[in-house]
Amino acid sequence: MEDHEAPWHHCIGKWGSNLSYWFEMTTNTTDHIPGPSPRAPLSHGGETQITLIIARLRQEQEPIVRFWQGRRLEDLFSGNSAAPRPLTLGRRPGKIARLHYITNIYLKTLQFFQDYPSFDTRKENTALWENPANPGKKGRKGDFAAKHGYPLADTLVALGRGGKLKALESHLDEPGIVPLLFGVVQMLDRLTLHDTKELARLLPIHCPILLATGCLVRKKWTLYLECYSQWALVETPSSQGHNTQI
């Protein structure tokens, strides 16, 4: 584990020297958040929800940055039992619990895309994105839940959120953005995929701290995913579907 930490600490050192600059440039602005592009086929209420998400991210971006800046990789697994997290969030979860949850649904979403590639929400899947409706709203999620023995209702919610996380990652071309969104993951429920694409367009404009931080945490996030995947093998659902934790 220690062999992998050096690049991260080097990156953090560079980030720390620029942290006050980024906060001064971005958190003190009072610029109006413009509405989504009229070219985007947004849902009813999508514009309002996008604005709320951006406002929440702007409010919480400093604590999120400091959360990632001040923790070693092993710290991200602290305070939890050896068993991986289920598909739901508990009441008033802390940052570590939210991180585990977002990691969990992200990995399960990748598994879903592997099983059913036509529902992959990456921007390269043009057949999905050219659908004027809400692509991937249900799809084969129920089949996926039955195949792996996951609870249906929790799986539908988790894959819906995970698909939007993957869409944001893809449209922003930044994998490191995913672990920075654990504070708003539940707010994604009210967005369609097309709304999510518009959110991706607006994030670099109004949340540049998050995008800069995403670049810096990319390597640590990748390593964390690898470690979490191994950790999750303790309770990986069997093919018979007797285990509902991942």
Cβ(198)–Cβ(168) under 8 Å? no
In this predicted structure, the answer to whether residue 204 has a pLDDT above a threshold of 90 is: yes
Closest CA to 2 of 72, 65, 52: 72
Within a 10 A sphere around the Cβ of 58, how many other Cβ atoms? 17
135's tokens: 């692509």
Cβ-Cβ contacts under 8 Å for 93 (sequence gap 6 or more) = 101
Q: What are the DSSP calls for 143-202, one per residue?
A: HHHHHHT--HHHHHHHHHHHHHHHHHHHHHT-GGGGGGGTTTGGGGGG--HHHHHHHHHH
The percent of residues above 90 in pLDDT, for the chain, comes to 45
Query: How high does pLDDT run on average in the chain?
Result: 77
Residue 62: per-residue pLDDT? 87
Backbone angles phi, psi at 236, to 5 degrees: -65, 135
Mean pLDDT of 65-81: 72
Q: What are the DSSP calls for 101-144, one per residue?
A: HHHHHHHHHHHHHHH-GGG--STT-HHHHT-SS-TTSSTTHHHH
Most confident of 23-37, 86-100, 224-238: 86-100
Closest CA to 196 of 142, 121, 141: 121
Question: Tell me, what amino acid is at 129?
Answer: W
Most confident of 18-32, 87-101, 195-209: 195-209
Residue the block writes with tokens 């659902």: 237
In this predicted structure, the answer to whether residue 126 has a pLDDT above a threshold of 80 is: yes
Cβ(102)–Cβ(185) under 8 Å? yes
Cβ(53)–Cβ(187) under 8 Å? yes
164's tokens: 């939007």
Mean pLDDT of 20-34: 42
**Coarse DSSP helix, strand, coil percentages of the chain, rounded to the nearest 5 percent:** 65, 0, 35
- Read off the pLDDT band of 29 (50, 70, 90): very low
Task: Summarize pLDDT for 139-192 with one digit per residue, the tens.
Answer: 689 999 999 999 999 999 999 999 999 999 999 999 999 999 999 999 999 999
Cβ(205)–Cβ(216) under 8 Å? no
Residue 168: per-residue pLDDT? 97
In this predicted structure, the answer to whether residue 66 has a pLDDT above a threshold of 70 is: yes
In this predicted structure, the answer to whether residue 50 has a pLDDT above a threshold of 50 is: yes
In this predicted structure, the answer to whether residue 203 has a pLDDT above a threshold of 90 is: yes
